[in-house]
Amino acid sequence: MARILFVEDEIDLGNVIKQYLELNNFQIEWKINGNEAKSYIDTSIDEIDLAIIDVSIPEMNGFELAQYINSVNSELPYLFLTARKENADKITGLKLGAVDYITKPFDIDELIVRIENILRRNSRFHHDTPTQEQQVEYTWKDISFVKEQLLLTIGRKEITLTLREAELLEFLFKNKNKILKREVILTELWGKNDYFLGRSLDVFISRLRKYFAESESIQISNIYGIGYIFKASEDAK
C-alpha cells in the first residue's frame, strides 16, 4: 500500500480528501502545516511514496517544503494541490521539480488517476507491482479484466480503472450471477459498512454500469432493498 504525505490546512477539505484517498487504498499521513510535514519527513522519509502539498500552508509554505524535500531526497515525487492559479506560481512549482500542479476546485477521481500514474512511474513503488506471472485475467465473452493493470477491455475499447473500481470489479467477477448484499460488499472489500462508504459504492457501481453499457454479455442490476447482481450470461441485456 502506497504511503502519501498529504499537507493541507483546510480541515473540512482535508478530511474529505483524506477519506477518499484511503477509500482508494492509499495510506495517508495528513499534516496541517509545513513544520509538521517537515518533522514527519525527518523521521519517515524512506516510508513516503508521494507527497501532496498545498502551496498556501502556514509556518512553511508549500514551495519551501518542496525545496526541503529536494534537499533530503531528490527522488521523492511530489505534486501541488492548491487554490493558487497564477501561471507564475505554477511555473515556480514545476521548476522546483513537482510532477504535477493541480488547482482547486478539482475532480477527485482525476486526482486519483494522476496519483496512480505517478506511483506506477516511480521506481520504488514499481518494485511492489505484481509480475506478469502473478497477474490474473478475468474474461467473459467480449470482456477482459486484469486487476493488477487496472485495465478493463470491452470489445476493442480499453478503460483504465481506479484501484477501488478494480477491487469492486474483481469481487463482482468472483461472485457473478449471485445476489450480493450491499453490507457484504462493503465489509468484505473495505472492512466496514457506513454511510460514506455506501455512497462511494453507489458511485463505483454507477461507473461500472456505464462501462458495461457497451457490452452484450455483462449487466449490473439493482436488487431493491438488498444490493446488486453481476449478470454474466449470453442474454445479459
pLDDT of residue 237: 42
pLDDT of residue 41: 95
pLDDT at 129 over 50: no
Residue 178 to residue 163: CA distance in whole angstroms: 23
pLDDT at 128 over 50: no
Residue percentage of the chain with pLDDT more than 90: 54
pLDDT at 125 over 60: no
pLDDT at 208 over 90: yes
Residue 89 to residue 80: CA distance in whole angstroms: 10
Region of poorest pLDDT, from 56-65, 89-98, 116-125, 221-230 = 116-125
pLDDT of residue 120: 78
pLDDT of residue 56: 94
Q: What tens digit of pLDDT does each residue of 209-230 get?
A: 999 988 888 999 999 989 999 9
pLDDT band per the 50, 70, 90 thresholds, residue 77: very high
Q: What tens digit of pLDDT does each residue of 9-25 get?
A: 999 999 999 999 998 88
Each domain of the chain, given as residue ranges in start order, spans 3-126, 132-232
Q: Are 179 and 223 in contact (CB under 8 A)?
A: yes
27-36, 82-91, 125-134, 152-161: range with highest mean pLDDT: 27-36
Q: Are 142 and 217 in contact (CB under 8 A)?
A: yes
Element (H, E) at 214: none
Q: What tens digit of pLDDT does each residue of 23-74 get?
A: 888 999 999 999 999 999 999 988 999 999 999 999 999 999 999 999 999 8
* Mean local confidence (pLDDT), 98-107: 89
Arch. (CATH architecture) of 3-126: 3-Layer(aba) Sandwich (3.40)
> Which DSSP string do the residues of 113-167 spell out, in sequence order?
HHHHHHHHH-HHHHTTSPPGGG--EEEETTEEEEGGGTEEEETTEEEEPPHHHHH
Listed in sequence order, the residues at least 6 apart from 39 whose beta carbon sits closer than 8 Å to its beta carbon are: none
Which fold, 132-232? Arc Repressor Mutant, subunit A (1.10.10)
112 by Cβ neighbours in 10 Å (0-12 / 13-18 / 19+) ranks as buried
Task: Output the average pLDDT for the chain.
Answer: 87
